[in-house]
Amino acid sequence: MDRQIVLSDLNACYASIEMARDPNLRGKPVAVCGSVEERHGIVLAKSDLAKKAGIKTGMVRWQAMRLCPNLITVPPNIDLYTRVTNRVREIYSDYSDLRDDFSIDESWIDLTGTCRAGKEANLAFEIKERLKSETGLTASMGLSWNRIFAKLGSDIAGPDAIAQITRDNMKSVVWPLPAETLMGIGRATKHKLHDMGIKTIGELAVSDPELMQRRFGKVGIILYAFANGIDNTPIKHEGVGLPIKSIGNSTTTMRDMKKDEDVRIVLMTLAESVGMRLREEGFKGYVVEFSLRTTDLHWTIHQRKLKRATDITRDILEAGFELYKEIRTLPLRGIGLRMATLVPADEPEQMNLFINEKKHTTQRSIDRAVDTIRDKYGYHSIKRGLMVMDDQLGGLNAREEHINFARF
C-alpha cells in the first residue's frame, strides 16, 4: 500500500503571524525586516499583498519601499514565531506521530493508516482548517505517496489550498512542470539539464539514467528517481531530528568592510561562533565554505575540503581567510562562514607528521576555556586581541546572531 504524506507549508509564516497578532495589519502589504540601524534591513518575510507588489525575500528594505511605498515593515520577533509554530506542530501531532520538520514553517506528516483509505485529502483539509481557526495561519499543502511530490504539491497548490498528486495524475500534473521546480534542482543543475535538452520534469523522468549518472554522479540517479516519484525516505517519529549536515553563520556588518583586516576581524567572530557551536554539538567539519556579499548585493560562495576535520576556531578562521583571498572583492557588505561534511568530534583520526600535534591540542584547550568563560560570564567577558582593533566590527556578538544549521 502506498504511503500518504502531506507537506504543510505555512503561507508567509512570519508576516502572517504578525497579522494574526495585530489585526490592523490585515489587508495591507506587510514585510518583516531586520534592523535598518544595524544594516540588517533585509526582507525576511512578506505578506501576499507585498509579494504581489514585487517584493522578494532577501530584498533590501529601501528596495522594497521603492516598489511599494505604502509597505508596512515590522521587526522580527523570533520568540513569538517559535511559540506559534510550536502550536502548529501540536496540531500536526493530533493526527500523526510521524513528522519531519523541513524548516520552521514546513513539515512532512505521514498520514498512512490514520484514516480510512482514500480519505487522506479530507484529513489534510481538516488540518488546514484547524491551523486557520486556532492560529490564524493558512497553509499550502501537498498530498502524495512520497515526500518529493508532497513538497511539489505544496509548491503548486497556492495559498490556503491543497494539491494532491497521485500515480494516476502524475504525468498530467507533474511532468509538464519546469525541471527546476523539483526538489534538489538549483540554478547550476538547471543550466546543466538545459544543456542536455532537459527542461521539464517529464523529460527528466524519461531520460537515460546511465547518462544522468555520468553527468551528475550519484545525484543524477537521485534526480531521475525523484522525477519518477521514487523516494522511500521514511518520515521519522516526531522529536527525532535529522542529523545536522552543516553549521554556519553569516552577518551584515555595521559598516562596509573596505580592507583585508576588516574581513579578518569579522571572520574571527564568525569562526568563534561556528567553532563553539561545533564543539557544543560534538562535531568537527571537513569542508569550509566562505560567502561574501558585495555592496551591490551580489553573493559569491567558495568552499574547500580540508585535509583534516576540525572544530578549532583558529583553523576555521585561517581556512576561511584563505578562501576569501582567492575571491577577494572589496568593499563588502556582509560575509558568511560554514563548516560542512561533519563527523563526530571523537572519531579516531590518523596522526599527521606535518602538523604540530602539541600546538593543535593547545588550541583546542584554549577554545574550550573560552567557551566555558563565555557560558558563565557572557560573550563579551573575554575577547581575542584581534577584536579590539575595531569597536564596530569587533563588537559583533556572532554567537547569538544569525547562527544557522542545515540538516539536508
Q: Hey, what long-range contacts does 58-63 have (CB within 8 A, 24 or more apart)?
A: 60/297, 61/31, 61/33, 61/36
Which of these is catalytic: 18, 37, 38, 106? 106
Task: Judge whether 106 counts as a catalytic residue.
Answer: yes
Active site residues: 106
